[in-house]
Amino acid sequence: MAKPVPANLIMGFLGVGKTTAIRGLLARHPTAERWAVLVNEFGQVGIDEQLVAGGGVAVKQVPGGCLCCVSSAAFAAGLVQLLRQHRPHRVLIEPSGIGHPTQVIHQLTGADFATALELRASITLVDARKLADPRYTGHPAFTDQLEEADVVVGNKLDGYTAADRHRFMDMARAFDPPKEAVTMVEQGRFPLELLDAPRRVRQGRFPDAHDHHHGEGAAAHRVGPAGAGEGEDGWLWVEGVAADTHSVGWRIPDSVRFRRARLEAWLAGLVAHRVKGVVATDAGWLEVNLADGVLQMVPAAGALDSRLEVIAFGSHLDGAELDRSLRHCVMGDGPP
C-alpha cells in the first residue's frame, strides 16, 4: 500500500495571511515533489482557489461554510479526489478563517484517512495586534486555532510595535505543554522545515461537532444562501449568513470590465471586515484584498471570471443593495 501522504493544516483567523503563506510555501517547496492544496472558504464563491492555482499545483476548493460544518462527506470527497487524481507528496489544508479546527483534525486523523494521510504539524498564524482586542481573544475560533497549533506564527510582523511583539511571545510561550515552535514573520514566510515538526496528539476533547459553535448551536453556523440573484448576462451573486457572520459573493463573466477607480471607491466605502477577489478592470486583472482595514489592489494573472467576496461580522450586508452599487462600477455605466 502507498505510504500515507503528509498533510498540514494552515490555520488562522480571517485575513491573517494563510493563503499568502501557502503561496510562499508552494514557491519554495522541493521541485521534485508534487504538492496539493485543499481550501475551504467561508464565502460562497471561492477566491483562494484562484490565488493559489497555477504553477502546476493541484487545488481543490470546498465551498461555502467552514470545514467543520461543510458536510463532512463533501470535505472527505474533495480530499479523496485530490489524493487520487494528483497523488501528491504533501497536502496543505487551509480551513476557513472563522472555522473551528477541532472537528477537521478529528476527521483527518479518523478511520477515513488513517492509511491515506499522515497529519503533521498544525500551523496557526496570528496577528499579534489582535491579542489586545477581546473581540478576537474572546472568539472561540481564534482561541481554538491557537490551542490546536503545534507551531504558532506571528504574521504581519512589519506592522508590529514592540508591545505587540512582547504580547505575542508571552502568549505563545505560555502554553503548557509548550508549542513545538514559535516565530514571527512577514508574508507568512515561516521556515519550510516547520511543516515536519512533530504533531502532538490531543485527547479528550470533541468529538461533538456542535458543542463549540459560537455558543449558539450548530444550525446557526451553517452557511446557507440567504439571498441570490442571477442576471441574463451570467452575472451572479449569492449571500450567506451564519450566526453573526454575513457574506456576499459574486461571479461575473470576464467580458464585464470594472472601472478601477470606481471599484476602489466602492471598496473603500464598504462596512466589511474582509474583502477579497480577482477582478477584470480597465487597468487589467487585479487581485483585491481588504483585511484589517488595509485595501490592496495589485495586478493578478487573468482568470476565467471575476470573483469577489465581502464578509462582515456583527453587521448585516444587504446583498441586493451591494449588487446594485457594484454594477455602477462597471465600464459603460454612466460617466467615468
Ligand X SMILES: Nc1nc2c(ncn2[C@@H]2O[C@H](COP(=O)(O)OP(=O)(O)OP(=O)(O)O)[C@@H](O)[C@H]2O)c(=O)[nH]1
In the complex, which residues of this chain contact ligand X (CB under 6 A)? 12, 14-20, 48, 97, 155-156, 158-159, 186-188, 274, 276, 289, 291, 296
Rounded CA-CA distance 102/94 in Å is 14
> According to the binding rule CB under 5 A, does residue 107 interact with Mg ion?
no
Q: What is the closest distance, in whole angstroms, from the C-beta atom of residue 69 to ligand X in the complex? A: 16
**Per-residue DSSP letter, 185:** -
> According to the binding rule CB under 5 A, does residue 23 interact with Mg ion?
no
With b for 16 or more beta-carbon neighbours within 10 A and e for fewer, the 259-279 pattern comes to: bbebbbebbeebebbbbbbbb
Q: What is the closest distance, in whole angstroms, from the C-beta atom of residue 208 to Mg ion in the complex? A: 27
Q: What is the closest distance, in whole angstroms, from the C-beta atom of residue 276 to ligand X in the complex? A: 6
> According to the binding rule CB under 5 A, does residue 19 interact with Mg ion?
yes
Which residue bears the cell 515552535? Answer: 181
Contact 40, 99 (CB under 8 A): yes
- Closest CB to Mg ion among 11 and 197? 11
Q: What is the closest distance, in whole angstroms, from the C-beta atom of residue 285 to ligand X in the complex? A: 16
- Closest CB to Mg ion among 48 and 239? 48
> According to the binding rule CB under 5 A, does residue 18 interact with Mg ion?
yes
> According to the binding rule CB under 5 A, does residue 145 interact with Mg ion?
no
- Closest CB to Mg ion among 50 and 259? 50
Task: Name which of ligand X, Mg ion, none residue 291 binds, using a CB cut-off of 5 to 8 Å depending on partner kind.
Answer: ligand X
Which residue bears the cell 501522504? Answer: 5
Strands of the sheet containing 245-253, edge to edge, are: 224-230, 236-242, 245-253, 305-313, 274-281, 284-291, 294-299
Nearest residue to 99 via CA among 128, 130, 65, 76: 65
Q: What is the closest distance, in whole angstroms, from the C-beta atom of residue 18 to ligand X in the complex? A: 4
Nearest residue to 4 via CA among 114, 78, 82, 84: 114
Give whole-number Cα distances, 248 to 1, 223, 255, in Å.
Answer: 44, 11, 21
Q: What is the closest distance, in whole angstroms, from the C-beta atom of residue 4 to Mg ion in the complex? A: 26
- Closest CB to ligand X among 15 and 88? 15
Positions that interact with Mg ion (CB under 5 A)? 18-19, 48
